[in-house]
Amino acid sequence: MFTTEERRNYIGGSDISAVMGMNRWKTQLKLWLEKTGDAELADLSQNEAVQLGTELEEFVAQKFAKITGKSVRKQSKMYVHKEYPYMVAHVDRLITGTDELLECKTCGSYKKDEWEGDEIPQEYILQVNWYLGITGRKRGYIAVLIGGQQFKYKVIDFDVELFSIMVDMAKDFWNCVKTNTPPAITPSDNELILKIFPNHTEDFIQNQEIEDRVDYLQQIKSDITALKEEQQMLEAELKNIINTHIGILTDKYKITWKEQTSSKLNVDRLKADELYDKYADKVATRVLRISKIKQAA
């Protein structure tokens, strides 16, 4: 397994879904910041879930071998793409006497729906296909222990066309890393951009080209406000119809307006007891605001 620092120098199987913009937890920009050294790579060695996953890897591999009758062996070798040395694979197990490999996973029971039927999380499909392409193997198995109580395994056959797309996207991404050029941003990067640019100067930049985009943004915000008001009006109408009943039934919908109890922090009481300032943390941030410039007479 790669060390934290070594991971900066390669695109591995756990990176490729982010490279392709198909990772639920990491964007291209986040991965780019890690690879360029502008963001700290998470040290997962002390993460208990990661530790348990590593310790259970052998159990998952042996369980797979017992159920399928296939012989598996651990492979510590790092495979490298024959043309692009920064594209690598570190597989969990090889299946002896075949051109197949095995990837071992563990997950919590709350993720069991991700493995129902023929389902496989897309990040893992890409990871296994990446390993197959780099190792030159034709079939991969992915075995998973779910919640420590359920074992499943799935087959992933090598998709040569998909691998070609993966390689092309990895080349483009690595070029961004080497030239220190940020990749395209996504909506999920909104908070990340604040971390990249936490401070500001007092000067403005001139940019007329962006004016149409700002107009469009202002129109979207206006439409959202109008829709929000319409939503609130419709909800008020429903509540008025329900009045003292629990709800309404139609052929298509069940609408309820039920009492429920929730906890809410009483800020006024904290301030009165002089506790608010003691426990409130002041956090500096940047706020995006748009206002029209008054035209000179």
Q: Quote the CA–CA distance of 124 and 101 in Å, as a whole number.
A: 13
Q: What tokens does 31 get?
A: 């991965």
pLDDT tens digits, the chain, 297 residues: what are they? 555 567 789 999 999 999 999 999 999 999 999 999 876 655 555 566 666 767 788 899 999 999 999 999 998 889 999 999 999 999 999 999 999 999 999 998 899 999 999 899 999 999 999 999 999 999 999 999 998 889 999 999 999 999 999 999 999 999 999 999 999 999 999 888 888 888 899 999 999 999 999 999 999 999 999 999 999 999 999 999 999 999 999 999 999 999 999 888 888 888 888 888 888 888 888 888 888 888 754
Q: Quote the CA–CA distance of 48 and 93 in Å, as a whole number.
A: 22
The pairing of beta strand 100-107 with beta strand 139-146 = parallel
For the chain, list the domains and their CATH numbers: 6-184 (3.90.320.10)
